[in-house]
C-alpha cells in the first residue's frame, strides 16, 4: 500500500503480504506461510527426486518434516469399539491406550514374517501382548524393528505416530488393528 503524500511503503503489512509490498520475506516467515497453506489444504507441495541416484531425496525428507502435518496437527482418528460399534477416538498420545494398524505383511528371507504397522495411539513395546481387534485373538510382540532403506534397527518400543515392523505375529493380516485388550478399538 502506498502512502498518500510521499508514496512510501507502509510497514503495517501482514507476513503473508510482505512480498506483494516489494519486501523480501524472511526465510522463516516464508516457511511458516507455506506450512499454514499446506495444513489449511490451500496448496499441495510437489517435489521431484530420484532414489536411484539419490537426487533430491534429502530436500524431499526435509520438506516432509517442515510442511506436512504431524500426528498432533490433525484431528484424532476415530475407530469403532468391536463389541458395541460405538465410535472411539484414538488421540496421538504415547500414554494412551495402544491402537496400531497393520498395513503390510512381508516375508524377509533373513528375518521371516514382518508385519508393518503404524501406531495411532499409545506405545507398542517389545514383549507385550496385544489383542487383534479384527479377529479377537491375542499375539505377543516378539522382535520390534524400525525399517531403514538398507537395514533394520532393533528397538524396544514405538510411540504414537511411529511406523515400524513386528517379527513373530502369526495371525495378523493387512488392515488388522492391534490394540490394548482393556481398550479394544478397530481402525479402518
Confidence of residue 7 (pLDDT cuts 50, 70, 90): very low
pLDDT in tens, 110-131: 888 899 999 999 999 999 999 9
Which triple of cell numbers denotes residue 56? 533430491
Q: What are phi and psi of 119, to 5 degrees?
A: -90, 120
Beta bridge partner(s), residue 124: 158
Question: Per residue in 131-164, pLDDT tens?
Answer: 999 888 999 998 999 988 778 899 999 999 899 9
pTM: 0.72
For the chain, the residue count is: 188
Q: How confident is the model at residue 18 (pLDDT cuts 50, 70, 90)?
A: low
Amino acid at each position: 500500500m502506498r502512502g498518500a503524500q510521499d508514496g512510501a511503503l507502509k510497514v503495517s503489512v501482514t507476513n503473508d503480504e510482505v512480498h506483494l509490498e516489494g519486501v523480501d520475506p524472511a526465510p522463516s516467515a516464508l516457511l511458516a506461510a507455506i506450512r499454514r497453506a499446506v495444513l489449511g489444504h490451500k496448496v499441495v507441495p510437489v517435489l521431484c527426486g530420484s532414489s536411484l541416484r539419490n537426487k533430491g531425496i534429502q530436500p524431499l525428507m526435509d520438506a516432509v518434516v517442515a510442511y506436512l502435518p504431524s500426528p498432533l496437527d490433525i484431528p484424532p482418528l476415530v475407530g469403532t469399539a468391536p463389541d458395541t460399534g460405538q465410535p472411539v477416538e484414538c488421540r496421538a498420545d504415547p500414554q494412551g491406550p495402544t491402537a496400531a494398524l497393520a498395513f503390510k505383511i512381508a516375508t524377509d528371507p533373513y528375518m521371516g514374517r514382518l508385519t508393518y504397522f503404524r501406531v495411532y495411539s499409545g506405545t507398542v513395546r517389545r514383549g507385550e501382548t496385544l489383542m487383534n481387534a479384527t479377529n479377537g485373538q491375542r499375539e505377543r510382540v516378539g522382535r520390534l524393528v524400525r525399517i531403514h532403506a538398507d537395514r533394520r534397527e532393533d528397538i524396544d518400543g514405538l510411540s504414537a505416530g511411529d511406523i515400524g515392523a513386528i517379527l513373530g505375529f502369526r495371525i495378523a493380516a493387512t488392515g488388522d488393528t492391534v490394540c490394548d485388550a482393556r481398550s479394544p478399538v478397530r481402525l479402518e
